[in-house]
Amino acid sequence: MFRNWKVAGIIASVIILGYSCEKDRSSGPEGETVAFVRPSNFPEPVYQFEGNKLTAEGFELGRKLFYDQALSLDNSTSCGSCHQQFAAFANLDHSVSHGIDNCLGTRNAPPLFNMVWQSEFMWDGGVHHIEFSSLNALTNPCEMGMDLDSLTARLSRTSPYPHLFQKAFGSAGITSQRVLKALTQFMGAMVSANSKYDKYVRREPGGEFTQAEQAGYQLFKAKCASCHTEPLFSDFSYRSNGLDLNPLDRGRDSITNSSADRGTFRVPSLRNIEVSRPYMHDGRFFFLEDVLEHYNSGVKAHRNLDPSLRNGERRGIPLSKTDQSNIIAFLKTLTDHEFLRAKKFSEP
């Protein structure tokens, strides 16, 4: 009995020590800690919740905020409006995002998962920290249109937010920093690593590839993986895949002011690609078949076209119809049905 208490005491002190270096906590919140577990086939994450310890209270607050339309100027739009769980938190069938006052943006809402492995966000990489990844959508007049002072004032007079912030951060007060950190806890915990592909590489049950999937995987490794690098299925670089001869959207150049970046965009992850259509930065392709055919025959001679898509006069990646259908079969093994249905990420 005494022995058990001793163990309990040590555990208690370990928990206290765990919180003791957290800057923005005057006392540790109660309740269990939401664990972040790195999948065994993934590298170390970029963001390790430093200064923003992942807790059940912080995560639940972030989840509530994520789905609350009160975060938009006219109470019409939540984060979840354009980031739908069944679409891996992309916006199904919307080429570009649809904000307050029926305002249409210029780019496709990206899916949200495995964000803690990303050091830059958005199609142009203009946001360089996960804690700021929600800031543009919150404040952009064509998205949620809020200014941060109005947002924190609104939340401060909306029950039960004052209580929830107190619980999550250990002291009273609602600041933009706390809103962003809570949202980060929720989104940062969104890990998608249980697709058939993951089970295949981890040699787990349910990871048996069909012949088409296996053939597609071999083709993928030979023809696609130099940009869509495993296991995150992106190398997070910015490239032009020759969508247009004269792109309307400056892409990465709007951040770097460099003509070499004109019309280049972040290489997107291909995880959950089956369910997160439409595709490309402007959502121009609605079917994976269109995307594969683009690489086979549609690549334009844009002046910043990626060298990997240029072979002398030949542009693109030669892919027969069979190659294309095998690659698509493989891409569908990247769908993580557990993630798409996980209750903890759904609207509370």
Partner 1 sequence: MKLNTLLYLAATLLFGSANLSSCKKDDGGPLKSETGALQIEFENRVGNQALVLNSQTYENANGDDFKVSMFKYYVSNLTFIKDDGTEVLVPESYFLIDAADPATRTPRVDSVPVGDYKAIKLTIGVDSLRNFAGAQDGALDPAKGMFWTWNSGYIFVKFEGSSSKSTAAANKLTFHIGGAKAPHNTIRTVTQTFSSPLRIRKDSEPELHFIVDAGALFRGATTVNFAELNFTMGGAASVLVADNYASRMFRLDHVHN
Contact range with partner 1 by CB under 8 A, out of 103-111, 139-147, 212-220, 303-311: 139-147
142 touches partner 1 by CB under 8 A? no
* Residues between 235 and 264 with contacts to partner 1, criterion CB under 8 A: 254-255, 257
**Binder among 135, 142, 201, 212 for partner 1 (CB under 8 A):** 135
Per-residue contact track with partner 1, 19 to 38, x per CB under 8 A?
-xx--x--------------
Query: How many residues of this chain interact with partner 1, rule: CB under 8 A?
Result: 42
202 near partner 1, judged by CB under 8 A: no
174 binds partner 1 (CB under 8 A): no
Interaction between residue 7 and partner 1 (CB under 8 A): no
The dihedral region occupied by 45, where left means phi > 0, alpha psi between -120 and 50, and beta the remainder, is beta
Please pick, from the candidates 56, 70, 148, 201, the single residue that binds partner 1 as defined by CB under 8 A: 148
Q: Note whether 176 binds partner 1 by CB under 8 A.
A: yes
- Comparison of 18 and 43: residue with beta carbon closer to partner 1: 18
Which stretch in 99-107, 174-182, 228-236, 326-334 sits in contact with partner 1 by CB under 8 A? 174-182
- Closer residue to partner 1, CB minimum distance, 144 or 227: 144
152 binds partner 1 (CB under 8 A): yes
What's the closest the beta carbon of residue 232 comes to partner 1, in angstroms?
A: 21
Cβ closest to partner 1, residue 54 vs residue 270 = 54
Within residues 95-114, the interface with partner 1 by CB under 8 A covers none
Other CB atoms within 10 Å distance of the CB of residue 68 = 18
Tokens of 98: 């649809």
- Indicate the residue among 149 and 313 with the shorter CB distance to partner 1: 149
Whose tokens are 């401060």? That residue is: 156
Question: What tokens does 12 get?
Answer: 């208690």
Among 41, 139, 214, 229, binds partner 1 (CB under 8 A): 139
Q: Site for partner 1 (CB under 8 A): which residue of 32, 149, 248, 307?
A: 149
| Distance in angstroms (rounded) separating the CA atoms of residues 249 and 166 | 43
Contacts for 241 with CB less than 8 Å, ≥ 6 apart: 294, 295, 299, 305, 306, 309
H, E, C per residue of the chain: CHHHHHHHHHHHHHHHHHHHCCCCCCCCCCCCCCCCCCCCCCCCCCCCCCCCCCCHHHHHHHHHHHCCHHHCCCCCCCHHHHCEHHHCCECCCCCCCECHHHCECCCCCCCCCCHHHCCCECCCCCECCHHHCCHHHHHCCCCCCCCHHHHHHHHHCCCCHHHHHHHHHCCCCCCHHHHHHHHHHHHHCCCCCCCHHHHHHCCCCCCCCCHHHHHHHHHHHHHCCCCCCCCCCCCCCEEECCCCCCCCCCECHHHHCCHHHCCEEECCCCCCHHHCCCECCCCCECCHHHHHHHHHHHCCCCCCECHHHEECCEECCCCCHHHHHHHHHHHHHHCCHHHHHCHHHCCC
Interface residue with partner 1 among 13, 75, 106, 210 (CB under 8 A) is 13
Taking contact as CB under 8 A, which single stretch among the options 55-63, 175-183, 208-216, 297-305 is the one that binds partner 1? 175-183
- Residue 310 binds to partner 1 (criterion: CB under 8 A): no
For the CB of residue 129, give the shortest distance to partner 1 in the complex, in Å.
5
Nearer to partner 1, 225 or 255 (CB): 255
Q: Do the beta carbons of residue 203 and residue 173 sit within 8 Å? A: no
Residue 202 CB, nearest approach to partner 1 (Å): 31
Summarize as ranges the residues that interact with partner 1 (CB under 8 A). Answer: 1-2, 5-6, 8-10, 12-13, 16-17, 20-21, 24, 51-52, 122, 126-132, 135-136, 138-140, 147-149, 152, 175-177, 180-181, 184, 254-255, 257
